């Protein structure tokens, strides 16, 4: 395999932030070519945005996996079976969408643990060591399948803040000790969404990709830290929004283009 073939592999960013910074709204700009797997049940936050991508957001194909009864938890199993089906369709060239979004990793791991407890008639109780082990195995397998899909895949997640040795540290919101660092190592693109003051009392939303001692993020493909994806005016309306496709174009080049570059410079 040539290096340009590796460079052309579809990117799979893990995108996380605190609530209200537009993860869902940004992902939904992928439009009708996107299949959106929703476990958060919070998509309505994106429907009230009136910008140039409003039609795209309303055109996204959504597949929800939610537990409908308080005494039953099978959403993870249904989601896992569906993602396996997607993987098989991709392998046969039959998957009809160009992009996949999973919203969110945080809800996915909760659904997985609830499913483990439900199968042992322990739903609603505190998990024990063996339950953590089963959850870690099942969730790692599912994320591994998602990572091997031959299309761009966007994994959304919430953030959590922990006191680590007296320092407040921002992390991807996941329970457990062993699995979270293993999941983080699976992603070369980890984008942390942030906000900063803009002009005339506006707020600029941007992507941080350079890690610090307190924030986990990176971009193996070189997305510049500070890349802005929206401005929120004082009245709450969005301005100068950027689509996910525009961000994707900054880090992804097709194999044919890369091969042509190699041939030209050889």
Q: What is the CATH number of the domain that holds 92?
A: 3.40.50
| 8 A C-beta contact, residue 106 and residue 41 | no
Which of 252, 137, 189, 220 is closest to 12 using CA atoms?
189
Sign of CA dihedral 240, 243, 245, 250: positive
Query: What confidence tier does 258 reach under pLDDT thresholds 50, 70, 90?
Result: very low
φ and ψ at residue 167, rounded to 5 degrees: -115, 130
Instruction: Return the structure tokens found at 60.
Output: 């996204």
Number of domains in the chain: 1
Angle at the Cα of 223 from the Cα atoms of 98 and 148, rounded to 5 degrees:
40
pLDDT at position 256 over 90: no
Cα distance between residue 148 and residue 152, in whole Å: 10
Residue bearing tokens 């895949």: 153
Cα distance between residue 188 and residue 211, in whole Å: 12
Which of 111, 131, 135 is closest to 120 using CA atoms?
131
Please report the pLDDT score of residue 182 as a whole number.
Answer: 94
* Mean of pLDDT values over 117-133: 96
DSSP category for residue 215: B
Q: In terms of DSSP H, where are the helices of 13-119?
A: 23-27, 54-59, 75-91, 105-119
For 255, counting Cβ atoms within 10 Å of its Cβ (0-12 exposed, 13-18 middle, 19+ buried), the class is middle
Angle at the Cα of 14 from the Cα atoms of 13 and 15, rounded to 5 degrees:
105
Cα distance between residue 204 and residue 227, in whole Å: 10
Query: What confidence tier does 255 reach under pLDDT thresholds 50, 70, 90?
Result: very low
Please report the pLDDT score of residue 253 as a whole number.
Answer: 63
| 8 A C-beta contact, residue 60 and residue 36 | yes
* Mean of pLDDT values over 147-152: 96
Is the model's pTM score more than 0.85? yes
Long-range CB contacts (within 8 A, 24+) of 221-224? 221/11, 221/188, 221/189, 221/251, 221/252, 222/250, 222/251, 223/189, 223/191, 223/247, 223/250, 223/251, 224/250
What residues make up the domain containing 93?
3-265
pLDDT digits 0-9 by tens, 34-48: 999 999 998 887 777
Stretch among 68-72, 136-140, 148-152, 233-237 having the lowest mean pLDDT: 233-237
* Mean of pLDDT values over 220-228: 95
* Mean of pLDDT values over 77-94: 98
Residue bearing tokens 């070189």: 222
* Mean of pLDDT values over 142-171: 95
Which of 190, 183, 195, 192 is closest to 231 using CA atoms?
195
């Amino acid at each position: 395999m040539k290096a340009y073939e590796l460079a052309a592999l579809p990117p799979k960013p893990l995108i996380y932030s605190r609530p209200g910074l537009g993860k869902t709204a940004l992902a939904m700009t992928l439009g009708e070519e996107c299949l959106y797997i929703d476990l958060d049940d919070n998509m309505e936050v994106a429907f009230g945005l009136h910008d140039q991508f409003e039609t795209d957001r309303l055109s996204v194909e959504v597949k929800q996996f939610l537990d409908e009864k308080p005494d039953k938890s099978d959403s993870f199993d249904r989601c896992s079976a569906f993602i396996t089906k997607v993987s098989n369709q991709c392998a046969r060239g039959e998957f009809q969408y160009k992009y996949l979004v999973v919203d969110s990793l945080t809800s996915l791991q909760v659904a997985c643990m609830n499913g483990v407890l439900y199968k042992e008639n322990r739903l609603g109780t505190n998990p024990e060591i063996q339950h953590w082990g089963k959850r870690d195995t099942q969730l790692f397998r599912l994320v591994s399948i998602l990572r091997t899909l031959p299309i761009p895949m966007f994994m959304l997640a919430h953030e959590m803040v922990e006191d680590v040795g007296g320092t407040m540290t921002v992390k991807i919101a996941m329970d457990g000790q062993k699995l979270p660092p293993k999941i983080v190592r699976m992603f070369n693109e980890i984008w942390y969404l942030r906000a900063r003051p803009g002009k005339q009392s506006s707020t600029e939303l941007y992507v941080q990709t350079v890690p610090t001692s307190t924030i986990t993020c990176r971009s193996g493909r070189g997305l510049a830290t500070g890349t802005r994806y929206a401005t929120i005016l004082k009245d709450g309306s969005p301005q100068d929004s950027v689509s996910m496709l525009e961000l994707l174009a900054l880090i992804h080049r097709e194999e044919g283009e890369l091969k042509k570059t190699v041939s030209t410079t050889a």
